Each structure stands twice: as C-alpha cells, then as structure tokens.
Chain A
C-alpha cells in the first residue's frame, strides 16, 4: 500500500526566502506526482503535475522535481511571499486514485 510522507509538517519563514518542501513515497510504481495548495476552508488547487517519465516541472516561482528511484519529490518556492502561506500537499497517482501526504503548513511573514 502506497504511503506518502511530507516533511516538515510546518514551516515559518520571512518573506523573500527560497524554500524546499519534501515529499516521499514508498511505492515507486507511480504514474505521476502532483502538488496541491490548500487554503483554510477551501478545496485543493493543483499547482504542478510531474509525469513518471519526467524529472521536473516549473510554473512561475514554483519548481517541482521527481526522483522515482528514491521515492522523492521536492517543491521549491523561490522568493517566498506572504500570499504563499497555505498548506501544500503532494499526491501520487497509483492505479486510478491519488494518494495524498499529510501536508506542509507554510507561513510566510512580512
């Protein structure tokens, strides 16, 4: 059974810092790895999707990498802003459903 773990569980940084969020998964037979953002009381917003054949994807200040062999993915956020404060969730696509990690709660203070 796939298990997805995210560290750290929480992170508080000053505005402007570059930061890395980590995601690990136990079963490397995934089809893709996705990163989502969740704001309090809201649903999930898809940020990046990395196919199993890809190594990374970029969108603006966000860059996600995937290393299937080691069961790891990282989300890199450049020049963090207070508006980036949210919970970030990674999820692996196994068969027909996404398996989520427990998330990293990020707070960026001015």
Chain B
C-alpha cells in the first residue's frame, strides 16, 4: 500500500475486554514498531520486529500486552483484560531497514488506533 494502515481507527472497550489492533506496514518494509501515545505526551516505544522476529519487547507495560507478526508483514497488537490506563493512541511505524541496525532510515507512521477503555 501507499502508507502504513492501521485498523480500527477507533476502539471503545469495556474494562476487562480483550482487544486486537492491526497494522499493515508499507509493502517491503522489514522493520515494524509499535508505540503508545497517551494524551498530551510523546509516543513511547512498545516493541520492534524485524521481519517476523520480535527483537525488542522491552516497552510492553505488562504481560497483558502481546504483539505478533507471524509472516513478517501484518502485525497485531493484542491487549488482554483492558484497563483504563491502557487508553491511548497506539501507533504503528515501519521502515525499510534490512540490517540489524541503520542510522539513516526514516520511519513511516500510520494514523494510529485510538483506544478508549471505559
């Protein structure tokens, strides 16, 4: 696709429900990142994939958060037993990075999924 696509655009969940957020990266992009952005704050890193391998999940706030990218393209962020503090915009980004580390490539962000937990 032309850009990073995220769905749904908005999600309202009752406390305790499970949610799944989807990210379609730009075709051919190897690296994929998930960020969480609370209202009025900057994005905070959650996890990073290179192809299907989850290389860094140090930002996931608890074991209720789980991310996968089984075929190295589409990724899903799952939040189990949602709580009010999970309310935020969840941003997905991809880059063409095809080595373990590159300092010059830019990230392309999706519009995010706004999650509201009531």
Binding site for B on A (CB under 8 A): 4, 31-32, 34, 36, 41-46, 49, 51-52, 89, 91, 93, 96-103
Any A CB within 8 A of the CB of B18: no
In whole angstroms, how far apart are the Cα atoms of A27 and B59 in the complex? 19
Total A-B residue pairs with C-beta atoms closer than 8 Å? 59
User: Which partner residue on chain A sits nearest B106 by CB separation?
Assistant: A46
B91 in contact with A43 (CB, 8 Å): yes
A42 in contact with B111 (CB, 8 Å): yes
- Residues on the A chain within 8 Å of B42, using CB: 4, 89, 91, 100-103
14 sampled A-B residue pairs with Cβ under 8 A = A31-B103, A32-B103, A43-B91, A43-B110, A44-B93, A45-B109, A96-B100, A97-B56, A97-B59, A98-B45, A99-B45, A100-B35, A100-B44, A102-B41
- Residues on the A chain within 8 Å of B107, using CB: 44, 46, 98
Binding site for A on B (CB under 8 A): 4, 33, 35, 40-45, 48, 55-56, 59, 91, 93, 100-101, 103-104, 106-112
B104 in contact with A51 (CB, 8 Å): yes
In whole angstroms, how far apart are the Cα atoms of A97 and B47 in the complex? 9
B33 in contact with A97 (CB, 8 Å): yes
In whole angstroms, how far apart are the Cα atoms of A43 and B106 in the complex? 14
Residue of B44, B48, B91, B109 near A96 (CB, 8 A) is B48
User: Which partner residue on chain A sits nearest B110 by CB separation?
Assistant: A43
Write the nearest CB–CB distance from B89 to chain A, whole angstroms: 9
- Residues on the A chain within 8 Å of B100, using CB: 96
User: Which partner residue on chain A sits nearest B100 by CB separation?
Assistant: A96
